[in-house]
Structure 1
């Protein structure tokens, strides 16, 4: 997804903070036509029916009008209609088609067609069991939900089934979600990684701010399995920051971000925080660049975009689908599935027949 909204993540900023503008500037397409030194062809591929970038009302990279007016370039648009992810005429595809139709004409009228063999009506407990079963069988299963609070609920429940009620530590076999770009480790925000080893001992660093408040940073050494450029996999020992693991937050607090910088400065007091030398230290320091993660058994719909899984669980939290954005969210979630789809916490005003069959 290429957005053009300003993005400034804590103390780290990439380019102008506007990805589309940065891309156009790199290609020289931000200049007046007479100053462009080379011909450039650029192709954006996406689904206009899916959710736009976070906090956006549209996908600027897919907007013919925006690209023409903003960059004075000639744009051609084509629509692909051949289905490649699901089987033509399959149950998941039929439901996705119905949802796509509702985007242009939102209505509360229940979807009339009954669900087929690939689409199941489920509940929260069964959904968590299905995720665990998929893990044990080596299958890809993911819950797609509305809120970070619901993400945490799924993560904690799945881990309780996997490791027991009292297990809090990261375990070998856990799935983690990267929640902040990490250039040092070359791992982007949204990447899912598998844990193949984890230290039992957590490293805690306590720092006291100018206001006298103590900030604790929790680190742990783990080994992850990741894909490499050759299409294979490799094992990589890394340091993770655990401050976001057990709450609903996806970003560090201002105090925690200060503490990360101060942790580096504490070891290099002779170097000014404002100097280029200190910035160079931050770029390579293993603690400052510790991977910020959450458990990865459930994702919000924006985080799930671009991913696909054999079995997708869509939890609507009992909220009705009434607006264009509601149906866009649902369409995006449904189309993450390659084979099977479970629907959890359906609203009666959208799913009368489904609720009758589930009861």
Structure 2
């Protein structure tokens, strides 16, 4: 067998996987964002297991995702749960299989961010306890065997339930088993993915999710792969043109099932001129694994859940009428007999489909329908066998086999397949996608950022994005012009140094400066002036005054300045004592007052955003006063000066901006216009 060639960034990871498989550790968690090579590791893990003479099972959250893996794999549900069910209070319960894997089995679970302990059950059915992660760990018998589990997943994608319920949560696994758990994080983007625009977008979003900071989001777009449609008036026109280029492999991705229905209806009526009824040429989305009705075929085609198909032929089928105990009227279930071509492999298959499910507002049907389907199938079996076979939970029983292959009980749950929710799209790859980024849930939270990240992960070639929010720290900001008044505007902290910097703890050898804040002032002056080739040549301390002498590097220019400061050690005024030539003092003053004290990273970001808006209007930021949860900006233009207060919250958003004092009303209007609030 040829050795799999891996990028350098993954070679060390494979070595650690091999080390894990040779250890007594029970679980290995491998995480990585898109572009880091998780899919390549699956094959490498299989090869490593084989080289160590270990049997392995590659499992996926569902059969559709399993079909996309580069190695043979299957759904975790079909592996650990029985195909038979028990009925408890009219709910179908699929129990755990007895584990017949080897005592040293290796379980390689892909897309593990979709494996969780979030309770999942419906009024109709439940798998195991409804907690998939717990059921899987119980099935593996990991604590009393030498079996091992490797979970591979993306920590930034949407999860099923809370993130701390997923299989990637180290703390949850620690609490669940008595055994050692190891973890690896893939930190490097593969060389061939570094220029991928979808990966670049995900890198920015992943950083926000990692730091739980959701105040910056913008699309990195171009004209070929990630296309942002900004003109709202042309969105429908462009979407229609893009969709009709390749309607079989282009999908609209939206947030809710209601939007899925609306877009499916719009596409069929407005794009194709079709009526309500399904017809040949329609694209359908298959929500289960239906059974073929063509009994002449020697081998039945497996139809995976979440597949897409093109309709070839539609025929009516006789309804099923089933009386139920306690119901006054019998239940009528309507079917269509449909022949389709599966888009993933081109195979033609024919099956029954539940027409009420196809045309319903939501992709679901009532409990009575499911009970009627089950009772009807059981009745047909009894009629066929003419006796009841008592063989509960045996996959080999005649009844179980009959029920698994009954075309009515396993009729297709179809929806029109032009649009789908991102949850259903997750784990797949679509050639072209069109996504409306308005979810109605608010964009400044972890759920929305994960939604956008996951969207970028399901597109192969082209993504058209509509209504993409431009989120900055000013996203929530409002302007309040009612607080200000006409006033003089004077900045009282004209040299931007930090009086409390730790640098001031050191001794100053050049001059006898004793107080820490004044040491920091001296060090700041030296640092600023060195790039101008200006040096400090003298120093004298007076009460609330520091008198400094400065000279050029060649001693041809000299000046003396008196720096007045207040009780907070803020330099409020600079007085020229003497200068030779006179212009030299101006050069020094400009140099030591030109730098702003920008504060922490968030405050720097706010400054940069404000400056970018003010610069085109020739408004200068003279200074900034930093306070808890607000700042005061001193602005100046040819029109006048303004003192502006900027409030922000603990989530990284500016909440309110208002002028405090200004020299005239015109400068207020100019700043308001510039900030676009």
Compute the TM-score of the two structures, normalised by the length of structure 2: 0.44
1:133 matched to 2:245? The reply is yes
Q: Which runs of 5+ in 1 are unaligned?
A: 353-359
What displacement does 1:8 show?
Answer: 3.4
**Do the aligned partners of 1:207 and 1:214 also contact (CA within 8 Å) in 2?**
yes
Flag the 1:73–1:188 CA change in 2: closer, same or farther, 3 A. farther
- Quick one: distance in 2 between partners of 1:238 and 1:121? 40
Which residue is 1:355 aligned to? none
Which residue is 2:349 aligned to? 236
Flag the 1:166–1:12 CA change in 2: closer, same or farther, 3 A. same
Residues 102-151 of structure 1, C-alpha deviations (whole Å, 9 max, x = no match): 3235566454676322322263554354233222xx6x322221100011
Which residue is 2:410 aligned to? 289
**Do the aligned partners of 1:86 and 1:338 also contact (CA within 8 Å) in 2?**
no
> Higher RCO, 1 or 2 (CA under 8 Å, sep at least 6)?
1
- Quick one: distance in 1 between partners of 2:191 and 2:316? 43
Q: Which runs of 5+ in 2 are unaligned?
A: 1-113, 293-300, 393-397, 476-677
Which residue is 2:510 aligned to? none
Which residue is 1:192 aligned to? 307
Of the three residues 321, 328, 331, the one matched with 2:453 is: 331
Which residue is 1:52 aligned to? 159
What displacement does 1:274 show?
Answer: 9.8
1:71 matched to 2:183? The reply is no
**Do the aligned partners of 1:129 and 1:158 also contact (CA within 8 Å) in 2?**
no
1:11-26 matches, cutoff 5 A? 11-26=124-139
Which residue is 1:42 aligned to? 149
SS in 1 for 2:264: helix
**Do the aligned partners of 1:103 and 1:325 also contact (CA within 8 Å) in 2?**
no
**Do the aligned partners of 2:321 and 2:332 also contact (CA within 8 Å) in 1?**
yes
Runs of 4+ in 1 over 6 A off after TM superposition: 269-275
Flag the 1:22–1:183 CA change in 2: closer, same or farther, 3 A. farther
- Quick one: distance in 1 between partners of 2:273 and 2:192? 36
- Quick one: distance in 1 between partners of 2:133 and 2:319? 39
- Quick one: distance in 1 between partners of 2:253 and 2:208? 20
SS in 1 for 2:335: strand
**Do the aligned partners of 2:308 and 2:343 also contact (CA within 8 Å) in 1?**
no
**Do the aligned partners of 2:309 and 2:343 also contact (CA within 8 Å) in 1?**
no
Which residue is 1:317 aligned to? 438
Which residue is 1:356 aligned to? none
Which residue is 1:98 aligned to? 204
What displacement does 1:199 show?
Answer: 2.6
SS in 2 for 1:257: helix
What displacement does 1:84 show?
Answer: 6.1
SS in 2 for 1:287: coil
SS in 2 for 1:289: coil
1:143-162 matches, cutoff 5 A? 143-161=252-270
**Do the aligned partners of 1:85 and 1:338 also contact (CA within 8 Å) in 2?**
no
Question: Which structure features the higher share of strand residues?
Answer: 2
Flag the 1:71–1:239 CA change in 2: closer, same or farther, 3 A. same
Flag the 1:154–1:197 CA change in 2: closer, same or farther, 3 A. same
**Do the aligned partners of 2:165 and 2:172 also contact (CA within 8 Å) in 1?**
no
- Quick one: distance in 1 between partners of 2:213 and 2:134? 36
Which residue is 1:255 aligned to? 368
Q: Greater shift after overlay, 60-69 or 232-241?
A: 232-241
Flag the 1:52–1:161 CA change in 2: closer, same or farther, 3 A. same
Residues 238-282 of structure 1, C-alpha deviations (whole Å, 9 max, x = no match): 222222222332222112212212433564577779985766643
Compute the TM-score of the two structures, normalised by the length of structure 1: 0.78
- Quick one: distance in 1 between partners of 2:323 and 2:433? 44
1:119 matched to 2:227? The reply is yes
- Superposed CA RMSD in Å reads 3.6
**Do the aligned partners of 2:284 and 2:414 also contact (CA within 8 Å) in 1?**
yes
Of the three residues 335, 341, 345, the one matched with 1:219 is: 335
Pair member with larger Rg:
2
Flag the 1:148–1:113 CA change in 2: closer, same or farther, 3 A. closer
- Quick one: distance in 1 between partners of 2:271 and 2:219? 36
Flag the 1:83–1:241 CA change in 2: closer, same or farther, 3 A. farther
Number of residue pairs matched? 337
Which residue is 2:286 aligned to? 178
